Each structure stands twice: as structure tokens, then as C-alpha cells.
Structure 1
Amino acid sequence: MMKKIWIIVAMLLLTSVISYADINGPYRDGLIEGYVKKVLENQIQIEEYDGTVHLLNLDRKVNFQIDGKNVRLKDFKPGMEVYGELRGRRLKYLEGYSTENLGYIPPGGKVRTGIVKKIDRDQIIIKNLIGKEETYFTSPATVCLKKGENVPLSVLYEGDRVRLYFDEVDTKMISRMSIEGDSILIKNLYRGKLARADQLEDEIVLDKVEVFRNGKWQGFNNSIAIPYSSDLPLYVGGQRLHYKNLKYYRGKTVYMAIKDFFGTDKIEKMVVKSQYEKTYSDKIKRINWYSDTFELANHKNMTFSEGTMVIKNGRLVDKESINPESDAFIVADGRGSNLYADVINIYNEDLNNSNIGQNYIYAGRLSRIFEDKVYLKDFYLLDRHEWESFRTRDEDDEKELFYDNDTIIYDIENKKYILPKEFFAGDYSVDEDTDDDERIKNKHLKDWYGYIYTDGDRITSIMVQKDLDSLRRQRVTTGVIEKAEEDSLVGWTVYLRDAKDYSYRHDKWMAKNTTIRVNLEKAMIVKNGKIINSYELQPGNRLYIVRDDFYGKVVVVK
């Protein structure tokens, strides 16, 4: 009898250990899913699907919903399946599902969360919280939200964390998509010596820390301590490493991709150097997916795997996101010709984040303006980061673009926004060749020019000015805002780190080796398809810029 009791006790202890194996998981991710176990006066106990139990305090502005309706805490019953969002260790949002008709859910009642792995027009593949890949579809009716703002689907990137809502239980058609904000972005890429891996305090200490800046490793700090956990993606030589064995790699060089999680650094992925480091900044010419190898333009060959840290568009992505002709900074591990890619930081950036987007940038003369459309004469189109000229001999050659009441129109000469009816009625386009209109001759009126940002043939934003700039002098630059300030001499200016210029001659992105300054006083700045003011830019914003050396002309916030 006593033996049976001890067996039962041992089983209970084992179950307890398993249930609480990763107690900090939801607090790192900011998400929790599972079942209600107990409802208290100002707390709720939730059991995750893996059995881990959490007793959660409530945020001051906590929001409760059941079947899409606002409810109170006491309306949640034990056993109810729930989804919650956390702010630190406090519950800020909780939703449940209670209907008895399992074939019916309220609109938006079915929810899926995960990381976007692939985008192919209306098809989106996500990797869910347990690592399973699932395929869903968008439609013109799909609502897309980011930071509470309605945005076009074209803002979506591979590597983004999303929540998908569905109106029917068995559909794969997304009715609403919520995209996580800037916390998904990789804040820093560190290299350092592993000094300590403390399992009791769940902390990693690095010595001789360097940060990847402006195309090279730069000194950052003598020592830093960063929290870590058992679910940390940890690799050495392409092989998964158990976090309990990390302490045996003391003194080894490690690479860390760091995110900003509620104001604190969080390790998103970590790779331990196995042999000897070599770095390359080159173009990936060919990829062999059967052997997981690629060849650089300098004919160096190396292998890669799920353990390779791949950073693209400022996000950590799967290895399948690497494309031939990608320009990249690569940290290789090995000796001789036997090389393995520990880190691949892809430089390539485009106007469109994926093939969902159909955004274009035009520059040209406003030849004719009607109530809902504009015709461009002798216009230019930004194609592959270069202006391509289109000369027009007659009106049939002119480019037809459409605008509406939602189009943002900015007059840079008078520094003011104008309404579409003012755009149509104004002197932004005149018949320069007429001999009959004395007003045109007396006032020396001429056609104006515009920088135009479009979604297909629809103008979302346009900046108009009296003269056309010298487009031959302009180039495309990408980078991350390090600082934004209003200079007393030249006006609003941004400092860009990790900047890269596109070289048409070399057909590749060329990394800058220092922080650069760009003035935005006479630039059209577009975010989510709309013109914004320069003072709305923030450190950490990623920019795609058409510039004339120091002066920005068109800026797209990525």
C-alpha cells in the first residue's frame, strides 16, 4: 500500500514539473491560450494547452469579450477556452467562446496566431505557436490592422507575427488580420564571448560585446546580461543545442538576434560559433535546395540550415525566404572550403514588401488634370531602384492615373495640403501652347510637376512642385533612423544607420560604412500609403528613400 502511495506521489510531482516547465513562456510572447481553471475577484487562473497553469493579475484597462461581446471577468467560467494578450505579467485582453452550436461562430470568432512564413499574392502560410505550417487566404474584403490603424495588405512582411480572424469555423478565408507592431523587428545583432549561462536566474552574460552596425562589427559593451529561457532557439554548427548544455560553451563566440520586448532586450535566436569565423559581403548567385547549399558571386560555396540566423527586412525569417540574387552580409563558420553560414543578413529592400503590393513611384509633368484623373507627360517610373524615362510624343502616350477624395495632395511650394477639387480647379496644369488665354500669358503659367505614389493606377499620395528636379542625380537608399531632429539651419533631418545605396552599375546594394544624414524638408514622406509629416518619424523606423545626395525627395516608411 505504502509503495502505491509513493508511486502516486511521484507521478503527481512529475506532472507538476511538466506543467510548470516553461512558466515564463507567455510573458515573453505576450500571448496566452488555453482554458479557464478558476476565476477570482481580481485574478484569473488559465491552463495552457501544454498543462502549464498561470495565475494572472489584471491590467488597469483590461478588456474582456465572449463571442465578440464585451463582458465582465465573472462571466468567464471554468473550462471555457480562451485567448489572451499580456502586458508584462498582467492580462490586458481576454476573449472566450461559449456558443453551444459548434458549427456556428460569431464573425471573427475563430482566431489563429503565428509567424508569416510565405506570401504569394492572396495565399499566406503561417507557422503557428507549436511550429505547424497552415495556409490561409485573403480577399479584397479582408481587413488589415496594425497598431490599431487600418492599413493595406501590402504592409505585410515575411517574418511578421499576425492574428487571423475568421467568420466561419471551417473556412480558410481571413476576414480580419492584426499585424504585430515594431516589437517584431530585430533591434540589434550582437557578437560576444559567452561568459555565463545561469539556469537559476535564466540569464546569459556576454563579454567583449560587439554590435553589427554600418556593414561591420563595432565595439558595444564590455559585458551585458540578457534573460533567456528553455525555448530559446539555440544552435551550434547547424545542430539544435539544448539550453542546459549551453554552460559548457563558456568562452565560445556567440551571435544573438535581439528584439525589444516591452522595453527590455529579448533573445530571438542564438548561434554558437563552432570553428573559425569568416565574413563576406556579396551576392548569393545560386541556391541548391536539395543539398541546402548556396554559391556566392565570388564562387565561395557554403551550407545553411534551420539553424542559420536569417535576417530579412529587419525580421528573423526562415531559410526558405532566401532568394537567388540576394545581396547579403554573411558570417561563415568552418575551415578551408568547408563553410557553414551562421548568419545571413540580407540587404535587399524593395518598394513592395511582397507580390501582394502593386505600389509605384512616378515623377512627371502634370499635362492634364480632370475631376478624377491626371495625365503625365514626359514622365519617369522608378523601376528596380532607378528612374526609367518615358517620352511622350502625343496625348495617347501620356500616363493616365486616377485620384479620388481619399487621395492626399501636398503643395510643396506653398507648404499646404489641398483638396481634390482645389487640385482640379487650380493652375497646376495649363494649356501652355494656347494663344487665346491672356491670363496664362500674363502670369507666365506653366504645368507643374509631381512625385506620385500609387497603388496600381490609383494615386494614394502626390506632392506637386513648379519645377522638375534633376532625376539623374538621384539614387535609392535604405536605412534605419538612428536620430531625427529639426536642424536650425536646414530643417528636419534624419540620421540613418545600416544605410545601403543601390548601385545600378554593380546591380547590388552597397553598404555604407558610416551613419549618413538626409534632409527631409522638401520630401514626400509616405507611410501606409499616406503622406505624413517629418516630425512623425521615430528612431528605429526603416526607410526607403529616393534622394539627391543630402536632400530626400520621396521617403517610404517600411
Structure 2
Amino acid sequence: MLLALTLMLLVSNISYADPITPYREGFIEGFIKSKGQDKIEIEEYDGTVHTLSFDDKAVFVIDTVQADFEDFKPGMEIYATLKRRKIDYMEGYSTEVPGYIPEGGKVRTGVIKSIDRNQVTIRLPIGEEETYYTSPATIALKKGKNVPLSILYEGDSVKLLFDEVESTTISRIEIEGDSVRVKDIYRGVLTTVDTLENAITLTGMQVFRNGQWQDLSSSRRIFYSAQVPVYTGGAKISYNNLKYYKGKTVYMAVKDFFGRDQIERMVIKNQYESIYSDKIEDINWYSDAFELANHKNLAFNDGTIVIKNGRLVNKYSINAGSDVFVVGDGTGNQQMANVVYIYDTDINNSNAGQFYLYEGRLDEIVKDKVVLKDFCLLNQNEWESFADEKELFYDSDINIYDSEEDRQITPLEFYSKHYAVDEDSSYAEENNLNDWYAYIYTDGDRIAAILLKKDRDSIMGQRATSGTVEFVEDHSLVGWRISVRDASDWSSRKDAWMAKNTSLMIHLQDAMIIKDGAMISPQELKAGDRLYMIRDGSQAKVVIVK
């Protein structure tokens, strides 16, 4: 009897795989039990075990970073999606128990909802919001490189690390790469829904370009994640009911997910489309509605696709005074905003940044200091001139570019050469020496990068422009240039961003190009980069990669 009872207990602890559930739902999650050369044994949370092989184009990710199959270890917790009974995507987590808080530390992951100087509010994967604080000791990392906190955006996916379990002060912020950016906004007619592979097919495809819808191919198949919400008329709908909306127009914000489009937010048109390009005059948060300068009122909701700084953000990022492109849905005064594209941009991404752009005459240069005279400061997208002097400081990490010699120079050369002279001296007169001029990009009063020019540019025709790089090329006749789409110019007369209806061709000869606070070369720009620039006609003077 004891032997029989022991055998029964042993048998009761053995779980047998459900041959249907993962294939019906299209995903599996649990722990790696064992792995072979091209197969893996996965134990689901309920204890059932499945042996699975991989699709030829399977994607592997660990902690949001692309990895190889060899990097996955037995015991690691994973989530995988299935395609034709094979794994086509598998995501793992470097700790076997992600919820475990190690001694003296904790981790939070989420999407930045708002930034207010040293206060960062994130939305957690479970939907809750938490607020934490930065300090001068907080380290920010992006793609393994140390970056300033000022490059943070609303909508960035981040991992926050803390030195103490009870602390609300962040010790380290790891910023996710370009995958958080919205690649495009599409519009199309829903024709088929494939719940097995999480994909939809659309016809009459159009893309938002230069302030209007432009035609694409007649049909396109786009993948989605079941965790991405779908709305219509302000109401959230289930993916199980998506098939009942065939023939309806769908708006989608998509991101680049390992080389393919993936839907990040989806809204189904409920009634009739109207398009507006105007400034938001006022917002009523009690009723979740805003009024445009043309006195048109539109409601918004959690499903509204809101794009700001090229990122998908929540409705709370909509601000009075913003210049917007809006896709309305409804009739008369009863309209809902399906898409709100915010044109606003500036040198700083938020009020946590303290970057400035100066233009002026180099009156004095010593080993660690520069004195500007008759200088201009870019203030709210416009040059503001000052007759005073301005002291700025530099160190050995400064980037200095001599536009005459077409090369970067060292701080020693900057200090020892004749970029600033006493123009009233006989030495300057005998050697025909004059003060040089410069565009200077600073972090506070510290110079991060400086572009030296022998002759001063006229700033009268210069304007602030924002947009997205379409392509970069080294032209055989004119050198490096870029095509910029979805561009808008700042109008001081209208106090608004004015959208362009065509792409711009911008030349980069002698331009100062800044990315993450440092100077880069034109060939380091790439398609999809968002830019804020000062230009004179087709010639860029300063380009800041956002």
C-alpha cells in the first residue's frame, strides 16, 4: 500500500503538455527547462511542458536587447510567439526571477509619462504610475554610452535602477534605443485579420507625409501585438472583435521592430474624417477636450494617437499653445480626435535640459574660457541679440571645428592660434588679423561644441526648422546633403510652427551637427533621425539630432 501511495504521488506531480493551447493563443510563456541545438523545452507556469523548434527567421531578445539563441540558459523566464507551431520571437529576462529585489537595490521598467526638472513619472507595464527623482549623481545610459539626462523624452522606454529598496532617487537610468520612436502614421481600409499570426491586411494604404496623406502600395500586411490597445469612438475594443470592423478605415502608429513595421497604437474610424492644422487655444481636462484657434472643439481619449518629438505619448502631453495636425472623427461639433501630431520642438527636450545656442564674435580666448562680444542667443526659436559680453567655459572634452581648414582642432590649437586678437594692436594690424566668429552649443555655461568661422554669417535670413531625415547622400558636386520630410518652419509673425507641404533638400557644408551633446560628421546621420536646425535657405548652419 505504501508503494502504491508513493507511485500515485509521483504520478500526480507529472504534468503533460496541452497540445492545443499555445498554438491556439499564438504565444507561450514560462521557464526554459532544457535546450538543444535547434529545439527548446519550455515549462509553462501551470507546469505543462512543450518541446518546440524555431522559425528560420526567429528573433531573439534578452532584456529588450537583441541576442542569440546561445544566450538563453535553462531556468530563464521567457515569452515567445508562435508561427505555424514554431517560435518566431522569443524574449528572455536576465534574472530568473524578475520580481526579485536584490539586497541593496531595485529595478523599475516603464514608459516616461512626464518630466518636470528632476522629477520623472513613469507608467509601469501593469498600468500604474510612479514618480521618482534624479540627482546630480544619477547616471543615464543609452546604448551603453553615458548621456546627459536632458536627452530624455516623454514616451521613452526606460529601466530605472536604485541603490536602496526604499529609495525614490534614481541611481541609473537605461534608455531604450530607437525602437520607442514612431516610424510612420498609416491610414488604410481593414480587409483581413489573422489572429494566429497577429497581423492585419489593409488596402488603400496611405502614409502621413508633409502635412497630408500620401498614397502607398494598394495593400499591406502589418503585424501587431495583442497588448496594443484598439479604440473606436473613444471606446476600447477586443482583438476578438476586430474582424467585425472589416471595411472600416484604420489609423495606425507603427514602429520599426527588427526591420518590420509593427503597430504601436490603432484607432478605427467611427464616422467621418476631418483634418485640421492649427494651434490649440485651450484644454478642458474635465471633459477631455481642446479648442483650436479656429474655435473648433474636439474631444480626445486614451485611444487618441498622440505623437510628440517623434514618439507616441499619452493624452496628458497635449498642451495649450501647441501647434498640431489633427485627424477628427465625427460630425459638426461632435468630433473626436483620432490623431494629434504635435509640431512643437526646441533645443531642449524638456525643462530638465539647459542647452543653449550662441552666435557671436570671439573677443577673448584663454586656457579654459571664451569671452563673446556682440553675441546672439537662440531664444524660443529666434535669435535675440545682445551688446554685452558673455563668458563661457570649456574643458578638454570640447569639440572644436575650424570651417576654414575643414577639420576638428584641439583645445591647445584653439587657445594658441589667432582666433581672438587685440584688433587695436600694431601686431594685429601688421599681420592683418581680426577676431573670428562662432556658433557655440553649450550645456549651461560649459561649451560642448563650437564652430569657428572667419567671416560672420548674416542671421537675418536664418530660420528654425524641424523635420525627419529621408535620406543622406554625399553628392559629387555639392557634398553632403539630406532630404528632410515632415518639415516645419518657425514663424515669428504667427508665433507658430508652419508645416511644409514638400520635402526639403538641405546642404551640410560647414554645418555644426550635434548628437547627444557632441559633434558628429554628416555621414553619421541616418534616415529616420529627427532634426532641429538653424538654416539659411538650403544651407544648414547648426543641426541638432533629436
TM range (shorter): 0.7 to 0.9
Q: Would you say the 8 A contact 1:21–1:52 is kept in 2?
A: no
SS state at 2:150 partner: helix
2:491 is aligned to: 503
How far did 1:182 drift?
1.1
Letter of the aligned partner of 1:146 in structure 2?
Answer: K
Q: Say whether 1:457 aligns with 2:445.
A: yes
1:556 is aligned to: 544
Q: Say whether 1:104 aligns with 2:103.
A: yes
Q: Would you say the 8 A contact 2:28–2:80 is kept in 1?
A: no
230-239 or 398-407: bigger deviation = 230-239
How far did 1:40 drift?
4.0
Q: Say whether 1:385 aligns with 2:381.
A: yes
Q: For 1:354 and 1:99, how far apart are their aligned partners in 2?
A: 31
Q: For 1:53 and 1:124, how far apart are their aligned partners in 2?
A: 41
Letter of the aligned partner of 1:95 in structure 2?
Answer: T
Given candidates 313, 320, 329, the residue that maps to 2:325 is 329
1:21-420 correspondence runs (5 A) = 24=27, 36=31, 38-40=33-35, 89-90=89-90, 94-96=94-96, 104-105=103-104, 110-392=106-388, 398-420=389-411
SS state at 2:216 partner: strand
> Kindly tell me: are residues 348 and 164 of structure 1, through their superposed partners in 2, closer, same or farther at Cα, counting changes over 3 Å?
same
> Kindly tell me: are residues 367 and 136 of structure 1, through their superposed partners in 2, closer, same or farther at Cα, counting changes over 3 Å?
same
How far did 1:443 drift?
1.6
Letter of the aligned partner of 2:219 in structure 1?
Answer: S
Q: For 2:352 and 2:49, how far apart are their aligned partners in 1?
A: 40
2:5 is aligned to: none
1:526 is aligned to: 514
2:66 is aligned to: none
How far did 1:230 drift?
2.8
Letter of the aligned partner of 2:214 in structure 1?
Answer: Q
Q: For 1:277 and 1:61, how far apart are their aligned partners in 2?
A: 38
Q: Would you say the 8 A contact 1:525–1:534 is kept in 2?
A: yes
Q: For 2:61 and 2:471, how far apart are their aligned partners in 1?
A: 35
> Kindly tell me: are residues 189 and 165 of structure 1, through their superposed partners in 2, closer, same or farther at Cα, counting changes over 3 Å?
same
How far did 1:307 drift?
1.4
SS state at 2:218 partner: strand
Q: For 1:387 and 1:511, how far apart are their aligned partners in 2?
A: 20
Letter of the aligned partner of 1:259 in structure 2?
Answer: K
The CA RMSD measured in Å over matched residues stands at: 3.3
Q: Would you say the 8 A contact 1:406–1:460 is kept in 2?
A: yes
> Kindly tell me: are residues 208 and 85 of structure 1, through their superposed partners in 2, closer, same or farther at Cα, counting changes over 3 Å?
closer
SS state at 1:430 partner: coil
How far did 1:233 drift?
1.1
Q: Would you say the 8 A contact 2:361–2:374 is kept in 1?
A: yes
Q: For 1:60 and 1:194, how far apart are their aligned partners in 2?
A: 27
> Kindly tell me: are residues 286 and 497 of structure 1, through their superposed partners in 2, closer, same or farther at Cα, counting changes over 3 Å?
same
Given candidates 494, 506, 514, the residue that maps to 2:502 is 514
How far did 1:199 drift?
2.2
SS state at 1:472 partner: coil
SS state at 1:131 partner: coil
Q: For 1:327 and 1:460, how far apart are their aligned partners in 2?
A: 30
1:478 is aligned to: 466
Determine what percentage of the aligned residue pairs are the same residue: 53
536-545 or 36-45: bigger deviation = 36-45
1:432 is aligned to: 423
SS state at 2:217 partner: strand
Uncovered stretches (5+) of structure 2, i.e. residues with no partner: 1-11, 64-69, 82-86
Q: Would you say the 8 A contact 1:259–1:268 is kept in 2?
A: yes
Q: For 2:280 and 2:447, how far apart are their aligned partners in 1?
A: 36
Q: For 2:290 and 2:260, how far apart are their aligned partners in 1?
A: 36
SS state at 2:460 partner: helix
Q: For 1:63 and 1:309, how far apart are their aligned partners in 2?
A: 27
Letter of the aligned partner of 1:104 in structure 2?
Answer: E
Letter of the aligned partner of 1:188 in structure 2?
Answer: D
Q: Would you say the 8 A contact 1:18–1:52 is kept in 2?
A: no
Q: Would you say the 8 A contact 2:58–2:89 is kept in 1?
A: no
Measured against aligned partners, the alpha-carbon deviations of 1:143-169 in whole angstroms (never above 9, x if no partner) come to 211122211111110001111222222
> Kindly tell me: are residues 159 and 13 of structure 1, through their superposed partners in 2, closer, same or farther at Cα, counting changes over 3 Å?
farther
Letter of the aligned partner of 2:467 in structure 1?
Answer: G
Measured against aligned partners, the alpha-carbon deviations of 1:431-465 in whole angstroms (never above 9, x if no partner) come to 00124x3xx22221001111000000000000111
SS state at 2:250 partner: strand
Q: Would you say the 8 A contact 2:80–2:89 is kept in 1?
A: no
> Kindly tell me: are residues 60 and 261 of structure 1, through their superposed partners in 2, closer, same or farther at Cα, counting changes over 3 Å?
closer
> Kindly tell me: are residues 160 and 103 of structure 1, through their superposed partners in 2, closer, same or farther at Cα, counting changes over 3 Å?
closer
Q: For 2:519 and 2:169, how far apart are their aligned partners in 1?
A: 31
SS state at 1:362 partner: strand
Q: Would you say the 8 A contact 2:187–2:252 is kept in 1?
A: yes
How far did 1:132 drift?
1.4
How far did 1:77 drift?
7.5
199-208 or 492-501: bigger deviation = 199-208
> Kindly tell me: are residues 206 and 91 of structure 1, through their superposed partners in 2, closer, same or farther at Cα, counting changes over 3 Å?
closer
Matched residue count: 519
1:445 is aligned to: 433
How far did 1:389 drift?
0.4
How far did 1:343 drift?
0.7
Letter of the aligned partner of 1:149 in structure 2?
Answer: K
Q: For 1:57 and 1:370, how far apart are their aligned partners in 2?
A: 66
Q: For 2:107 and 2:44, how far apart are their aligned partners in 1?
A: 16
How far did 1:103 drift?
7.2
How far did 1:192 drift?
1.0
Q: Would you say the 8 A contact 2:25–2:196 is kept in 1?
A: no
How far did 1:111 drift?
2.1
SS state at 1:117 partner: strand
SS state at 1:334 partner: strand
> Kindly tell me: are residues 326 and 247 of structure 1, through their superposed partners in 2, closer, same or farther at Cα, counting changes over 3 Å?
same
How far did 1:15 drift?
9.9
How far did 1:188 drift?
1.0
Measured against aligned partners, the alpha-carbon deviations of 1:230-258 in whole angstroms (never above 9, x if no partner) come to 32310000100111111111111110111
Q: Would you say the 8 A contact 2:61–2:90 is kept in 1?
A: no
SS state at 2:179 partner: helix
Letter of the aligned partner of 1:282 in structure 2?
Answer: D
2:3 is aligned to: none
Q: For 1:255 and 1:98, how far apart are their aligned partners in 2?
A: 35
Q: For 1:508 and 1:51, how far apart are their aligned partners in 2?
A: 59
> Kindly tell me: are residues 99 and 318 of structure 1, through their superposed partners in 2, closer, same or farther at Cα, counting changes over 3 Å?
closer
SS state at 1:343 partner: strand
